[in-house]
Amino acid sequence: MHILVVEDDALLAVGLERVLTRTGYAVDHAATGKYADRMLIQEEFGLVILDVGLPDLDGFELLRRLRSRRSAAKILVLTARDAVEDRVRGLDLGADDYLTKPFSVSEFEARVRALTRRAMAPTTRWSAAGITIDVAAKRIHIGDQPVELTPREWALFELFLASPGRVLSKDQIAENLTTIDDQLSSNAIEVHVSRLRSKLELSKLNIRTVRGFGYLCEIGDA
């Protein structure tokens, strides 16, 4: 999943990015509301970590704009404001969760896990194409056999599962798997897709190359 951290405190932003990237997420950072607004118009993010007290564009206004564009991104609001009125305002504008500063890393990670599970599927454990998927643990089984995926392979697997019957170009894959500062080459994407294919060959999920366009995920009967 591609996550955007909108936070003007540079030290806190770096800390949040480290926590998220070590878990396997692709993370970008915006230090101002206006820059974040431009990024959210140009790119799709599955989750937005949103600070309210931004220097140029209030976080609540950014949230309002995001929801007015009918974005399906999950929103976790971070703020030092602990008044009930502020929490109610954020939730009414479309926030999915609210975390008041200061907070513990473990609580932050738990909130992120909960929101990413909700974004991906209504349950944390489900089956598709002969694959049993444990979203919380980021593990899969084909039949009784566990299949180990790297963080990038998991992100790619998640992307294909969310887009059955849809051709994904290499640019679209790169956009969802990488950050501005961490880009994937066309050859690297081919390698990751090839490795994922080999790990899923005993399942009913087929990642087919559509020459000149990208990759198509086909899911057979489980």
Q: Give per-residue pLDDT as tens, 23-68.
A: 778 899 999 999 999 999 888 888 999 998 898 898 999 999 999 8
According to DSSP, the β-strands at 125-128 and 131-134 are: antiparallel
List Cα–Cα distances, 119 to 2, 46, 151, in angstroms. 12, 7, 18
Phi-psi label, residue 130: left if phi above 0, alpha if psi -120 to 50, beta otherwise: left
Hey, what are 114's tokens? 């909960």
The mean pLDDT value for 74-92 works out to: 82
pLDDT for position 124: 58
Strands of 131-134's sheet in order across: 125-128, 131-134, 139-142, 145-147
Q: Give per-residue pLDDT as tens, 89-116.
A: 888 889 999 888 889 998 898 888 888 7
CA–CA dist 201, 99 (Å, integer): 42
The mean pLDDT value for 159-179 works out to: 80
pTM here?
A: 0.57
**Residues 52, 58 contacting (CB under 8 angstroms):** yes
pLDDT band at 180 (very low <50, low <70, confident <90, very high): low
Domains of the chain with CATH codes: 2-120 (3.40.50.2300), 125-219 (1.10.10.10)
